[in-house]
Each structure stands twice: as C-alpha cells, then as structure tokens.
Amino acid sequence: RRHPRATWLGHIDPSEVPKVMAEHDVLVLPSLWPENSPLVVREATAGGLSVIVSKKGGSAELAHHATLIETERELQDAMQSAVDLGRVRHPPMKWPSPAEHAKRLLADAYCY
C-alpha cells in the first residue's frame, strides 16, 4: 500500500481478468492450499506475467520461472524485488485447451 508501483486489487470479476493481466506484470499467490492446478497461474503465465507463489501446493509446478516463497519475509523480499525490477514480461506460455488436455490424458493412459 505504501509503494506507488504496487496495487492491491482484491476481488476481480472473471470477465475482467484478461484486461487486468494485460495491465500488470506480477501475480502474487502465496496460497498454502494444495491446489492441483490453479487457473489464475495458468492465466498469468499465458499473459507473460511474473509469478510469486508458495513452495507448497500446485502453483509452483505450473510456472517454471516463478519466485517460490515459504515465509512472510521471503514474500516481502520477492515483492520488493519485483517492484525494483520494474516492467518485466516473460514470453507467454501456451497451455492446452481442455479438449487438447483430455486427448493427451487419454493417449497417455491407453498407449504404453
């Protein structure tokens, strides 16, 4: 709240997510929940955002360039580093569509 280049957004309507992602550089998701595959991390990496996530849970597996954190201090340091870097974007990651993903799962399950 005290830095002019950092903004707390709170709840965002799902229809506004692409617009918000395009206007920002970093997704901060320090969730400890063992989520399997958080959609917001996929959306962020597909949009080229940097990602700061907890080492615990499924988020860390989705963003190969993510900054992984465990403590509040690491979270503060990671956020400050992101602010200090300024505007940085990554090449967008390509995620399979649900149909492509299902096809791949079926192929893997039935092909030895």
Query: What local confidence, expressed as pLDDT, does residue 1 receive?
Result: 57
* Mean pLDDT (whole number) for 80-97: 87
Query: What local confidence, expressed as pLDDT, does residue 4 receive?
Result: 73
For residue 17, which amino acid is it? V
Weakest-pLDDT range from 5-9, 15-19, 26-30: 5-9
Record the pTM.
Answer: 0.76
For residues 78, 88, 23 and 43, what is the CA-based torsion angle, rounded to 10 degrees? Answer: -70
Query: What local confidence, expressed as pLDDT, does residue 75 receive?
Result: 95
Q: Which two tokens stand for residue 15?
A: 């229809």
- Residue 32 clears pLDDT 90, i.e. is over it: no
Helices marked H in 1-112 — which ranges?
A: 17-23, 39-46, 59-62, 72-85, 98-110
